């Protein structure tokens, strides 16, 4: 497994690959878990070589403490990737990516950026767009793999690819869950024992919401979820929304030809957890 920290040397390596070699790319912020590794596994099956980036992107954090506390486990990440036969890892510094101007570009994602996460994390999607476009331009992958836990992020990246006429194909992969249903996330390792024990309630609740959506309208289901969290001793609901998968707009009247998802964000102490379920 080759490890590059500089764009120039990574690009030299990519240029040296034989014509026709396909590149699968898995962008990450490290603190890897089975969810990430499943993306690497899929990329391996579908491409000749796999490149994984590990970069905690400062411009997508709306909260300085969240950036400082974001878990960093680089040695463990590298050994996991090696054991998964990853071909190349790219671990740049912020200076390598941004030079001396650590700032986001401003994107127009046709309104997708103003829904859900966008209402609570100012500037987050401009930061994601900036880094993902930069990485796509450096790596020039044929396919790039993202987990559906960040479903809104995937829709935003698809929009960016379409608007900026990038040639990469975006592959969405199902959410990986712990045995008790908690969606895998790098942030889970920051939960206390008590918070970790409480966290499966998030998925349990959206699973019940899915059943209710069969007979009730979206606003009734949203109210029911809000009520479930009302007096929870450990978890604090930030939002729950039932939205159209394509537009991410909240559902008013159900249309049988459309696909919907329930999206949720919850705090356990200062750890923010998100999840979603197809309805
Ligand atoms: O989903 C993530 O881990 C990040 O948002 C990404 C796509 C690696 C960009 O920093």
Residue 270 CA to residue 260 CA, distance in Å, equals 29
23-63 pLDDT, tens per residue? 999 999 999 999 999 999 999 999 999 999 999 999 999 99
Q: Considering 119, 140, 173, which residue would you say is the last residue of a domain?
A: 173
Same domain, 161 and 190: no
Gap between the Cα atoms of 272 and 59, Å rounded: 18
pLDDT for 59? 97
**Closest C-alpha to ligand 1, atom 6:** 28
- Distance, C-alpha 218 to centroid of its chain: 25
Q: Write down the pLDDT at residue 252.
A: 83
What value does the mean pLDDT take over residues 166-181? 98
DSSP 216: S
Give the atom of ligand 1 at the shortest distance from the alpha carbon of 132: 9
Look up the pTM and report it. Answer: 0.97
Domain that holds residue 143: 2-173
Active site residue 36: yes
Ligand 1 contact via 276 beta carbon (within 6 Å): no
Q: Which of 33, 36, 124, 176 is catalytic?
A: 36
Question: Is residue 180 in a domain?
Answer: no
Residues 72 and 167 in one domain: yes
* Mean pLDDT in residue range 83-105: 96
Helices first, then strands: H and E counts in the chain: 11, 9
Domain boundary among 135, 152, 173: 173
Q: How far is CA 56 from CA 66, 176, 254, in A?
A: 11, 21, 39
| pLDDT band at residue 209 under the 50/70/90 scheme | very high
Q: How much is the mean pLDDT over the chain?
A: 97
Residue 194 inside a domain? The answer is yes
Q: Give just the sign of the alpha carbon dihedral 128, 168, 31, 16.
A: negative
**CB of 57 shorter than 6 A to ligand 1:** yes
pLDDT of the residue at 100 = 86
Give the max Cα distance, the chain. 60
d(CA 96, CA 90): 11
Whether 87 and 63 share a structural domain: yes
- Mean pLDDT check: name the lowest of 8-17, 113-122, 155-164, 250-259: 250-259
The per-residue pLDDT for range 144-153, each reduced to its tens digit, is 999 999 999 9
């Amino acid at each position: 497994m080759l490890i590059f920290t500089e764009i120039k040397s990574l690009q030299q390596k990519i240029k040296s690959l034989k014509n026709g070699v396909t590149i699968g790319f898995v962008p990450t912020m490290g603190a890897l878990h089975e969810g990430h590794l499943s993306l690497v596994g899929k990329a391996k099956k579908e491409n000749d070589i796999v490149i994984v980036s590990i970069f905690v992107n400062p411009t997508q954090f709306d909260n300085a403490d969240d950036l400082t506390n974001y878990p960093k486990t680089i040695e463990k990440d590298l050994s996991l990737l090696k054991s998964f036969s990853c071909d190349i890892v790219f671990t740049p510094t912020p200076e390598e990516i941004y030079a001396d101007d650590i700032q986001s570009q401003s994107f127009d994602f046709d309104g997708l950026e103003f829904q859900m996460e966008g209402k609570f994390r100012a500037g987050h999607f401009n930061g994601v767009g900036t880094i993902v476009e930069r990485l796509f331009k450096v790596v020039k992958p044929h396919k790039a793999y993202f987990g559906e836990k960040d479903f809104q992020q995937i829709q935003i990246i698809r929009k960016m690819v379409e608007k900026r006429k990038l040639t990469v194909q975006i592959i969405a992969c199902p959410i990986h869950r712990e045995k008790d249903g908690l969606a895998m996330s790098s942030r889970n390792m920051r939960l206390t024992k008590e918070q970790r024990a409480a966290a499966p309630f998030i998925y349990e609740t959206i699973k019940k919401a899915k059943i209710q959506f069969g007979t009730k309208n979206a606003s009734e289901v949203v109210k029911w979820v809000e009520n479930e969290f009302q007096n929870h001793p450990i978890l604090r609901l930030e939002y729950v929304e039932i939205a159209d998968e394509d537009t991410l707009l909240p559902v008013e009247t159900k249309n049988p030809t459309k696909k919907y998802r329930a999206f949720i964000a919850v705090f356990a102490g200062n750890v923010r957890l998100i999840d979603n379920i197809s309805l």
